[in-house]
């Protein structure tokens, strides 16, 4: 990318800074005793951890280094699938996949199982409602992108559901005994969902009816970071992980940190090529004052 001179060097920090800051809460949670690993890692546990590592690294290669980036939004040509239909499919598929796995595992109905099922499905139900009533689209989706993203999210849904409702063991309902961790996790989850929703709404109000011109986003956290909606998404997945306690609850979070750090990086640079005064000095990509 050619980057204009107005792009803040402080804001254009390397990927490792954003990714390291993103996984720092996971490390802190582990040392505080808010992240559970089984005493013995079975081949299933090891397999999911390896899968998580592979997806995380592939997100770095494909999205940050641009080996095979997902083509959507400002980084994609005009497609042939109506945008609302495509995005509804992308966001509804993982919720369905999670429910199917939960049901396949015997539809466990402990408080823990129902809470994690509810949180996961609520996240994607919210995204589907945003597709229908909040977002404004300037172009249709590529059919291949719909398949790729629906598959990517659904793989995460299957892995998360299997880890939480099977590999977390028969005593997983006791994971809710730590009321402080659960309350902190719920507060973080709700905060992340609200940050995500508010900034999606702000983005939807930037253009006048019938206009497809990109406009510098203002309001909310846009003065601090170019992708506050991504920050909100990661915040909510972090809260989900803390509530879930099991390592499986972070199966979504860690790969998403790599994915959204990379998308935020290229969004930041894209804005720098289109506008003279945005991102401004000190405006970061994803994490306020950090990255």
Residue 123 pLDDT: 98
For 236, the token pair is: 């909510």
Handedness of CA 195, 84, 251, 100 (dihedral sign): positive
CA distance 91 to 70: 15
Q: Give the pLDDT confidence score for residue 41 in this predicted structure.
A: 86
Q: What is the pLDDT of residue 144?
A: 97
pLDDT digits (tens, 9 = 90+) for 141-189: 999 999 999 999 999 999 999 999 999 988 999 999 999 999 999 999 9
**Using CA atoms, how far apart are residues 226 and 241, in angstroms rounded to an integer?**
25
pLDDT at 209: 76
Residue 11 is predicted with a pLDDT of 61
What's the DSSP call for residue 182?
H
Cβ atoms of residues 281 and 223 within 8 Å: no
Average pLDDT over residues 193-212: 90
Nearest to 288 by CA among 220, 208, 231: 231
Greatest Cα pair distance, the chain, in angstroms, is 58
pLDDT in tens, 74-97: 899 999 999 999 999 999 999 999
Residue 36 has pLDDT above 70, yes or no: yes
Sign of CA dihedral 141, 145, 151, 152: negative
Round to whole Å and give the CA distance between 98 and 162: 9
Q: How much is the CA Rg of the chain, to the nearest whole Å?
A: 19
Mean predicted lDDT score pLDDT of the chain: 93
3-state secondary structure of 258: helix
Q: What is the pLDDT of residue 6?
A: 47
Mean pLDDT, rounded, for 215-227: 93
Structure confidence at residue 10 (pLDDT): 52
**Distance between alpha carbon 40 and the CA centroid of its chain, in Å?**
29
Q: Looking at residue 210, what is its pLDDT?
A: 73
Side-chain half-sphere of 220: how many Cα atoms within 13 Å? 24
Q: Please count the residues of the chain.
A: 291
């Amino acid at each position: 990318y050619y980057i204009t001179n107005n792009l803040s060097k402080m804001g254009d920090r390397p990927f490792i800074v954003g990714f390291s800051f993103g996984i720092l809460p996971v490390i802190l949670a582990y040392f505080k005793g808010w992240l559970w690993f089984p005493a013995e890692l079975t081949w299933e546990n090891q397999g999911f951890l390896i899968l998580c590592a592979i997806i995380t690294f592939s997100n770095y290669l494909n999205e940050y280094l641009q080996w095979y980036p997902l083509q959507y939004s400002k980084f994609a040509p005009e497609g042939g699938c109506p945008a609302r239909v495509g995005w509804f499919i992308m966001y509804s598929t993982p919720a369905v996949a999670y429910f199917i796995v939960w049901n396949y595992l015997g539809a466990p109905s402990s408080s823990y199982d129902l809470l994690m099922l509810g949180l996961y499905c609520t996240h994607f139900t919210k995204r589907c409602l945003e597709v229908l009533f909040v977002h404004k689209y300037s172009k249709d989706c590529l059919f291949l992108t719909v398949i790729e993203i629906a598959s990517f999210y659904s793989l995460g849904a299957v892995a998360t559901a299997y880890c939480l409702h099977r590999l977390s063991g028969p005593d997983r309902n006791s994971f809710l005994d730590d009321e402080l961790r659960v309350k902190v996790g719920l507060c973080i989850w709700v905060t992340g969902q609200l940050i995500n929703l508010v900034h999606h709404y702000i983005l939807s109000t930037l253009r006048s009816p019938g206009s497809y011109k990109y406009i510098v986003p203002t309001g909310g956290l846009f003065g601090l970071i170019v992708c506050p909606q991504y920050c909100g998404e990661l915040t909510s997945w972090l809260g989900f992980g803390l509530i879930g306690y099991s390592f499986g609850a972070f199966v979504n979070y860690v790969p998403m940190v790599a994915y959204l750090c990379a998308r935020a990086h290229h969004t930041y640079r894209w804005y720098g090529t289109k506008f003279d005064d945005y991102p401004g000095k000190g405006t970061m990509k994803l994490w306020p004052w950090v990255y």
